[in-house]
Amino acid sequence: MRLTRYSRRHEPAALARMGALVADQLVADLRAGHALFLLEERGNAKSEALAEIFVPPYITQFLYLGEPGWEALAETYAWMAELVHRDAGARGLRGEDLFIPLAECRLYAPVRPAKLVAVTGNYRPAPPGAIEGGVPGAFAKLTSAVVGPGHDIVKPALCERLDCEAELALVIGRKCKHVSPAQAMEYVAGYTILNDVSARDVIERERAGGNILIGKSYDTFAPLGPWLVTRDEVPDPMRLQVRTRVNGALRQEGNTSAMVHPVTTLVSYFSQLTLMPGDIIATGSPAAATAVQRSLVAGDRIECEIESIGVLRNAVVDEPE
């Protein structure tokens, strides 16, 4: 499944809700669909109340439901995937459209993580010591930087060297701590894309002071999306092509098979912290496609693409005076 948080373009963000892609270019309203499914297929008179519980507005809330939530979602999704072929104009119990064209939707970040851990130096050829040391290098991006697909990336007035990197992002599905690499995938709900936006010159000044924080965590510096692809849809996360394009020109390309630390190692290692549903582990980015990379400027359009997941698109704008 491709799970998304969306609203119609003319609706306020407060009405954003949980959906899933069906029939390629349609978004299914999962709450409304679950309510109709329970009433029509199960004869449950409390279908709307149950739908409010099992299909909350936020995907992170849904992840906290655990196995009962996934069971309810699976049967509803299967029913709606069949219904859309019979009646794409079907309506819910409140008269709402069950299926909306993707082009008419505004998508939001699929999750709002409590923790966003970003791994560095995780692709071969790796920086010196990245393999020999055996410990993944990482930093935290503040979650206030998270925005969704289509949202503008704001170039700070103080930044002269703006950069971007596509990264495979693991979405934690269950609370875990001290898990082994063999157990790691049991705690991954699925995958999305992170655009790790960086103010390189600000980071250099911060390093001189002994830290990296603001240059990685300005508002809008963590676009996520376009959706959460469930784990079963990606048989091998270690065989995915990763690309970044700016204005259509290739900026970065690689394959997750070149990771120094595989996804199972990353989940195991960072589970020294208590990982919670919705937390993100971004797995690092491959090398640049060319030796010289110009800094991003207002008007640039960025596409971060990962095989089996999709394309995350954002544009750059200048910070208002």
Rounded CA separation 57/19 (Å): 9
pLDDT of residue 129: 58
2-107 and 109-318 share one fold:
no
For residue range 92-101, what is the model confidence (pLDDT) as tens digits?
A: 999 999 999 9
Q: What is the pairing mode between strands 280-282 and 116-120?
A: parallel
pLDDT for res 132 = 52
Provide the pLDDT for residue 3: 98
Rounded to 5 degrees, what are φ and ψ at 282? -90, 130
* Cα torsion 99, 105, 106, 111: sign: positive
**Predicted local distance difference test score (pLDDT) of residue 16:** 97
- Domain residue extents for the chain: 2-107, 109-318
Mean pLDDT of the region 92-112: 97
**In the predicted structure, residue 21 carries a pLDDT above the cut 90:** yes
pLDDT confidence of residue 288: 81
Mean pLDDT of 38-59: 96
Q: In b/e form, how buried is each residue of 279-318, taking b as 16+ CB within 10 angstroms? A: bbbbbbbbebeeeebeebeeebebbbbbeebbebbbebee
| Among candidate residues 93, 101, 87, 89, the one with its CA nearest the CA of residue 27 | 101
Q: Is the full-model pTM beyond 0.85?
A: yes
Quick one: DSSP state of residue 231?
G
Structure tokens at 74: 């699976």
Q: What pLDDT, in 10s, does the model give residues 63-89?
A: 999 999 999 999 999 999 999 999 999
What percent of the chain shows pLDDT beyond 70?
A: 97
Class of domain 109-318: alpha beta
Nearest to 29 by CA among 89, 116, 70, 117: 89
Closest C-alpha to 244, from 223, 275, 220: 223
* Higher per-residue pLDDT: 257 or 321: 257
Q: To the nearest whole number, what is the mean pLDDT of the chain?
A: 95
Q: Average of pLDDT values for 178-199?
A: 98
Bridge partners (DSSP) of residue 311 are 305
* Eight-class DSSP state of 183: T
What integer pLDDT is reported at residue 127 of this predicted model? 62
Q: Which residue has the higher pLDDT, 1 or 288?
A: 1
**Superfamily of segment(s) 2-107:** Fumarylacetoacetase, N-terminal domain (2.30.30.230)
Contact 254, 126 (CB under 8 A): no
